[in-house]
Structure 1
Amino acid sequence: MSFENFKVPYEVDKTYAKKVAYFSMEFAIHQPLKIYSGGLGFLSGSHFRSAYELRQNMIGIGILWKYGYYDQERNQDQTLDVAWNEKLYSFLEDTGIKFQIMVHDTPVWVKAWYLNPETFKTAPLFLLSTDLPENDYVSQTICHKLYDANVATKVAQFILLGVGGAKLIDLLGFDPELYHLNEAHGLSAAFYLYRKFNRNLEEVKKRLVFTTHTPEEAGNEKHDIWLCHKMSYFCGLEVDEVKTLTRDYGDQFNHSLVALRFAHVANGVSKLHGEVSREMWGKYEGICPIVSITNAQNWNYWADKQMYKFKDVGDDYGFDDRKWFLKKRAFEIVADQTGKLFDPRVLTIVWARRFAGYKRAGMIASDLQRFNQLVHSTGFPVQIIWAGKPYPMDFPAISEFNELVHLSKNYKNVAVLTGYELGLSKRLKQAADVWLNNPRVPREASGTSGMTAAMNGAVNFSTDDGWIPEFINHGHNGFVIPKADYANMHTHEQDQYDLDKLYEILTGQVIPLYYQDYNTWRQIMKNGMQDVRWQFESNRMAHEYYALMYNANQ
């Protein structure tokens, strides 16, 4: 196909006619395309499936990561091992487009690959690669590892996404009305546009929108401004000019702050996160308005349609049988990895997501006396599964993963799995009776995993953070740990309060209900499936991006 004067290769719905280019470091489109690490990618993947379903006039710009995020494997003692295996994709199309960008004052060749919308039913996606024989080895490595730990390499990746993406769009002749930055990784595109539009910042602002995902200032990317300048991040602008332009006069370049000053509108990814973001950034001058568009996940991709069918026709026998089948099938993976045979009739608790300190993966096991009582109970037996991929240089998170591996060796009904990507994620959501989520409030911007868990008949049990305040009606469609006055608590006090409440609700309400009143339990499952179906489905979200961001008055 021709990539000159590129148009999306389907008929666009006139409601979504405005042309948008969407920049993201990761896209979790489908299991075979391993260019994602966690929630940011799961969000953009669902967004692009919905953009296809709604026939929106969008294209995506991402990076073709040669080794992906990493492959999570095991050492001899079952602890985590990090492997970097080359990924090959015969389903990507060669656009024939090659061009150069400047990185560290050196021209670097970039090649563009194309994911056709019909391959995985998504909006068109262009993926950039520097892994070319024309480049020296260092330049080739820019696209090797998603979120490379080397700071200079990471800045080069930001340049590849932002400047490379903006230049590709010009070469395609797509001419978008808006550039949407999903997180600030692609912010260098704004400096490219600033040069393109004759140093007119207003021309940049009217074209730029921004989604922030990080609910605390320290978690937002900052880099030494002189390093960024040396890496050619600012497209030829001098440091003093950048400081004046961004109104950020320190030597740490704050990507999110500048994105909020360069965009004409931004959004947080849940109502709570929108409030936290407005309060967090409100002390800075020149910030664009921050609205809330709650994250969502694509129902067509994630939901178990059979369970929904049985729910909708009131066939409780079929509904229960389907859930038990899904659990039994998922437990084959548990048996294969760990040698443990789980029982589909036993209440199964699953904690599975990216490992990070604030998510508190091991919280339920932090009080061994209560944990032992829980897992050794014969009257109300439970099974527990953990899974998730720590960042390969996040050694505290890796230690937590490995501690849980060693802990699991003491129990036949506790397992820790590796390889947590889209495929295993869906299986574990089907395996779960209880989807456990216990981040420290208010550290989780959205935390979408519980949405797709509910789409597979899992009951959410969570701290009251991210999207959860908009969803859980305690005892009706899930269970929630009531908020305390966290702002006036030390971290250890917050952890202890949440742990006490977790056990109180789990042993006093959740587990007895499953075993003593399964009819009510089933109704809670159905309520969760029903409530998540429309409110937290990504077609709603993709529509809101047009309604609240792309078509917003500037």
Structure 2
Amino acid sequence: MSQAELTPPANVERQNWTEITPEALYNKLQTIAGNLWWCWRPEVGNLFRELDPVRWRQLDHNPKALLAEMTPQQVAERANELAMYTRINQAHRRLTEYLTDTRHTWGAREAGVLGSKPVAYFSAEFGMHESVPIYSGGLGVLSGDHIKSASGLGVPLVAIGLFYDQGYFKQHLDGEGYQQEDYIDTNVATLPIKPALDPQGKSITVSVETRGGSLLAKVWLVNVGRVKLYLLDCDVDGNSPQDRELTSRLYGGDTRTRIRQEMVLGIGGVKALRALGITPGVYHLNEGHSGFAPLEVIRLRMQDDGLSFEDALREVAQHTCFTTHTPVPAGHDRFSADLIEEHLGPTREKIGISHDQLMGLGRVEPQNHEETFCMTVIGLKLSRHANAVSSLHGHISRRMWANLWPWRVEEEVPIGHITNGVHVPTWLALPMRQLYDRYLGVNWARKMYDPDQWQKVYDVDKGELWETHHALKSRCLDFVRRRLSRQCRRRSEDESAVDAARMSLDPGALTIGFARRFATYKRADLFLSRIDELAELINKSDRPVQFVFAGKAHPADMPGKKLIQRIANLRNDPRFAGRVVFVEDYDMNVTRHMIQGVDVWLNNPRRPLEASGTSGMKVVLNGGLNCSILDGWWGEAYNGKNGFAIGNGTQHVDSKITDERDGDLLFEVLRDEVVPCFYDRDADGLPHRWIDMMVDSIATLAARFSAHRMVQDYVKMCYLPAAGGLSAEMKKG
């Protein structure tokens, strides 16, 4: 929302806000807090921050929790002090207009066939905001960005997920630098969540049958702009104590826990939609976790319409889209035949197929009784619209799953690609938004997916862009220092350590950020391959370099934890103290500060194991530059002048040689390209070559890698064909 949007039209009657009751004002704020629309409207989020800046930070920027601690009278007094009445009313009015005006959206023009039968988007996690901790990392944040952009574009879509009342985990490092996990119960009363109601106004509980009895799940509703997100929760009366904990943690437990969670998500999710009176025209399975959903849709078609299993499968697959996200074998869930029969036995009996037939749906080789049941395989077999998440990942996925279509050559395997994107309003810093408002026009955000809209960035004053970036960088480093000093206090370290944390990092130094899941293939420690030369590079008095790291390892990933420990403990090495830091408890808040403030975003996975990656896309929006292996999205984004490439996009057949070679290449690009370019300044201190790269990065990448473009691609390439909304001529084109 621009400043112009905040100013009401002249013909709008202005109420005398001194006469509004505290209760009415409080209720308006509650309404705003009850829809996550506010979290990608920083000027609206600031309303809550200004009520109590200290508690706002302590409560993870949760407006529901903040309001729960204040009375209507206290809110009214604070609003009066800060002259907030009109701003609150305007924000409330803008939300109402946003929710009710769906006729003028891109979706209304381009996706009308979905209006009566919307897309049902299934995902195991959704990352919308740090105050709603039901995500672990990239997949969840992508899902959150997907539904936010669907909301902004007006694409008819409902989302289905699970409610994890303990989320993923809170991370802290012990005195040895080793990751420890804490699980904290979420207070539902402080979340923008309420029971989902059926058409008769009754709360919904669904039942999922297994051989050992039924799993019950109640259904919650979260409003994400125009999109309704339904979350299933097994903590209900009627479940065993063990099953009540089934949805408490994200990606926790053993394979039996995982298959039960995925049954609740897939089968329970379809049942929830039916109870809600929603008849989807498209089912979008975001990764294999929801691969059981089509089985329940098949059962319903057989029950309601008398179709045979084969005919029901054919029709349901036509309406199903499947997105695969990982080329890493361990990333694909697999279950034994016994687990499948224990949990899917009642469903397969209702659809009239044998155990071997059911297992065949999850096997590459249906007759191979030694092969386990793979959720990605069933997702591919029960859909007719499948995609990877970058161009390179598409090639890898077609090769990886070619045996499912042995009669086709690899190039004709029916797995396309739609490259991921990021939700621009969520990740764009407010000062950068204001800069774009001035140079791109106040309505630029309405066409953020249009590359032509971003060409005006070449007109931005270089000095103003650099000053804006430097201010964001200072804010980022202040945030990191606060976190570091808090980490020291929690470990009961002496005041000298706390003071050192406060003084760490130089605002003038080249700052390189790295934040992501600490899986070993992402090679977080690659920068240490030439450690002595790195120490010399970091400590050059006239051209210093510093690194900020963050990220979590899966609780069961011991090698990942060792990576974190190695990097975090560099603070004990005098060569790196205050220059290489690790920020605990990586979440969307940490991400936001880092991607908005670093100079360079480092990404060096072992190619081709990074399916896409999205953190670097967020950096682009805020003027940072990428330095990356040519993998995932960067393989199709890098043009030679909009960032830096590590290597030439090849890898050795021996992973050890690849790692050694990439380590050398990383050091060389930092030493010979990144550092000289950053410190090459004119008399006014402006790095003109660097700023030119910043501008070119924004102009060439911001539109291409926006979630609005991504969702539009899904609509055109998947949703409309799946819903029958394209003519033969359109399909041919």
Please confirm whether the aligned pair reaches a TM-score higher than 0.5, indicating the same fold.
Answer: yes
SS in 1 for 2:192: coil
Shift of 1:14: 4.2
Shift of 1:289: 1.7
Task: Give the aligned partner of residue 248 of structure 1.
Answer: 366
What one-letter code is carried by the residue in structure 2 that aligns with 1:294?
Answer: T
What one-letter code is carried by the residue in structure 1 that aligns with 2:426?
Answer: Y
Task: Give the aligned partner of residue 345 of structure 1.
Answer: 508
Shift of 1:131: 1.0
SS in 2 for 1:133: coil
- Establish whether residue 47 from structure 1 lines up as the match of residue 211 from structure 2: no
Shift of 1:77: 4.2
SS in 2 for 1:124: strand
Task: Give the aligned partner of residue 415 of structure 1.
Answer: 581
- Matched residues in 2 for 1:10 and 1:431: separation? 35
What one-letter code is carried by the residue in structure 2 that aligns with 1:468?
Answer: W
Aligned residue runs from structure 1 range 235-384, under 5 A: 235-237=347-349, 238-244=354-360, 248-249=366-367, 250=369, 251-285=371-405, 289-307=414-432, 309-310=434-435, 312=439, 314-338=460-484, 339=501, 340-384=503-547
Which residue, out of 273, 279, 282, partners 1:178?
282
- Matched residues in 2 for 1:484 and 1:55: separation? 38
- Matched residues in 2 for 1:326 and 1:467: separation? 25
Q: Check conservation: 2:530, 2:664, Cα contact below 8 A.
A: no
Q: Check conservation: 1:359, 1:439, Cα contact below 8 A.
A: yes
Moved more, 74-83 or 520-529: 74-83
- Establish whether residue 215 from structure 1 lines up as the match of residue 322 from structure 2: no
What one-letter code is carried by the residue in structure 2 that aligns with 1:224?
Answer: S
Moved more, 319-328 or 287-296: 287-296
- Establish whether residue 499 from structure 1 lines up as the match of residue 663 from structure 2: yes
- Establish whether residue 470 from structure 1 lines up as the match of residue 636 from structure 2: yes
Task: Give the aligned partner of residue 16 of structure 1.
Answer: 111
Shift of 1:150: 1.1
What one-letter code is carried by the residue in structure 1 that aligns with 2:110?
Answer: T
SS in 1 for 2:536: helix
- Matched residues in 2 for 1:264 and 1:547: separation? 15
Cα distance, 1:393–1:244 mapped onto 2, change above 3 Å: closer
- Establish whether residue 522 from structure 1 lines up as the match of residue 691 from structure 2: yes
Task: Give the aligned partner of residue 5 of structure 1.
Answer: none
SS in 1 for 2:214: strand
Shift of 1:78: 4.4
Shift of 1:218: 4.9
- Establish whether residue 165 from structure 1 lines up as the match of residue 269 from structure 2: yes
SS in 1 for 2:387: strand
SS in 2 for 1:552: helix
TM-score (norm 2): 0.71
What one-letter code is carried by the residue in structure 2 that aligns with 1:53?
Answer: G
Shift of 1:49: 0.7
Moved more, 24-33 or 224-233: 224-233
What one-letter code is carried by the residue in structure 2 that aligns with 1:273?
Answer: H
Task: Give the aligned partner of residue 445 of structure 1.
Answer: 611
- Larger helix share, 1 or 2: 2
Which residue, out of 195, 202, 212, partners 1:105?
212
Shift of 1:485: 4.2
SS in 1 for 2:366: coil
Which residue, out of 304, 314, 317, partners 1:202?
314
SS in 2 for 1:114: strand
Cα distance, 1:232–1:310 mapped onto 2, change above 3 Å: same
Equivalenced residue count is 543
Shift of 1:316: 2.8
- Matched residues in 1 for 2:650 and 2:206: separation? 54
Cα distance, 1:92–1:540 mapped onto 2, change above 3 Å: same
- Matched residues in 2 for 1:104 and 1:333: separation? 51
Task: Give the aligned partner of residue 228 of structure 1.
Answer: 340
SS in 2 for 1:450: helix
- Larger strand share, 1 or 2: 1
SS in 1 for 2:472: helix
Residue deviations 1:87-122, cap 9 Å, x none? 1243101122112112453112211110123xxx35
- Structure 2 unmatched ranges of 5 or more: 1-30, 32-98, 197-202, 303-308, 440-458, 485-500, 682-686, 725-733
Shift of 1:133: 3.1
What one-letter code is carried by the residue in structure 2 that aligns with 1:115?
Answer: V
- Matched residues in 2 for 1:137 and 1:9: separation? 43
- Matched residues in 2 for 1:334 and 1:127: separation? 33
What one-letter code is carried by the residue in structure 1 that aligns with 2:700?
Answer: D
Residue deviations 1:113-153, cap 9 Å, x none? 10123xxx352100110012332211111101111131100
- Matched residues in 1 for 2:238 and 2:625: separation? 52
RMSD of the TM alignment (CA)? 2.1
Q: Check conservation: 2:283, 2:320, Cα contact below 8 A.
A: yes
- Matched residues in 2 for 1:318 and 1:240: separation? 66
Task: Give the aligned partner of residue 190 of structure 1.
Answer: 294
Task: Give the aligned partner of residue 4 of structure 1.
Answer: none
What one-letter code is carried by the residue in structure 2 that aligns with 1:327?
Answer: K
% identical equivalent positions: 31
What one-letter code is carried by the residue in structure 1 that aligns with 2:571?
Answer: S
- Matched residues in 1 for 2:215 and 2:414: separation? 36
SS in 2 for 1:116: strand
- Matched residues in 2 for 1:504 and 1:78: separation? 29
Shift of 1:394: 0.8
SS in 1 for 2:344: coil
**Structure with max Cα Rg:** 2
